[in-house]
Amino acid sequence: MSGPIACEDSTPQDADAVEHLLDLSFGSDRKTKTSYRLRQGSAPVPGLSLIVRDRGVRLSGTISFWPIAIGGSQTPALLLGPLAVHPDRQKLGIGLELMRAGLGRAKAQGHGLVLLVGDEPYYAKVGFRKVPEGVVTLPGPVNPDRLLYLELRDGAFDGVAGMARPGNSSAFAEPHGAEA
C-alpha cells in the first residue's frame, strides 16, 4: 500500500466481502473453532468492526470485537477476531493498523480487557500477553499458548478467572471441534 493505511467502519454492504476474505484467510472450516463459539448468537460491538480497502475498492483487511464475560463474576471483556488480511496484502502493516485503530476505539468506549486466540509473537507487537494457563478457559479446546490478553485499563485482568462466555448470552452452541 502506498501512503497511510486508512481504517473505516465496516457496513452491512461489506458483509459478503468480509466473509469472502475470512474464508480466503482461514478456510471455510473456520466456524468450527472454539473462538467462533463465543461469537455465536452475538453481534460485534458497535463501532469496533473495521475494514481497510485497497485503493478504495477491494477489501484488504478486517477486524471485529465481540462482547464476552469471564467467570462467575461475569467480568466484561472483548474478544478480538477475526483479524484477517488478504494474502496479497500481508506484511504491509494492515493487520497492525487495524488492531491499533480497533483497540484505540475500544479503549475510548471504556472497555478494559481484550482476549484473543492467536500467535503471541504477532499480537505482542501491540501488547498482548499469554493468559496464565488455567486462569481463563474457553467453551472448547484451545491451545493455552495461544490464549492472549491485553489490558486497556490498568488492572483490568487482576482477579479475572473462569470460563469466558458470550457477553450477551450464557448459552453456547454445541462443540464443533478444536481451535487451530
Chain centroid, CA 37 distance in Å: 13
CA-to-CA distance for 5 and 96, rounded, in angstroms? Answer: 10
Answer yes or no: is 2 within a domain. no
d(CA 143, CA 140): 10
Give me the mean pLDDT over the 129-141 stretch. 95
86 within domain boundaries? yes
Question: Looking at the 3D structure of the chain, how many domains does it have?
Answer: 1
CB 146, CB 140: distance < 8 Å: no
Query: Given this model, what pLDDT does residue 170 score?
Result: 37
Does residue 15 fall inside a structural domain? yes
Summary mean pLDDT of the chain: 88
Helices (H), the chain: 15-26, 34-37, 94-108, 120-123
Q: How far apart are CA 94 and CA 11, in angstroms?
A: 19
The domain in which residue 97 lies consists of: 7-166
Q: Please provide residue 18's backbone torsions phi and psi, each rounded to the nearest 5 degrees.
A: -65, -45
Q: Is residue 177 part of a domain?
A: no
| Domain contains 172 | no
In this structure, is residue 173 part of a structural domain? no
Residue 179 lies in a domain: no
Task: Using the predicted structure, report yes or no on whether residue 177 has a pLDDT greater than 60.
Answer: no
pTM of the model: 0.88
Question: Is 101 domain-assigned?
Answer: yes
Q: What is the CATH number of the domain that holds 118?
A: 3.40.630.30
pLDDT in tens, 68-85: 999 998 999 999 999 999
Would you state the cell numbers that stand for residue 173, as one nine-digit string? 452452541
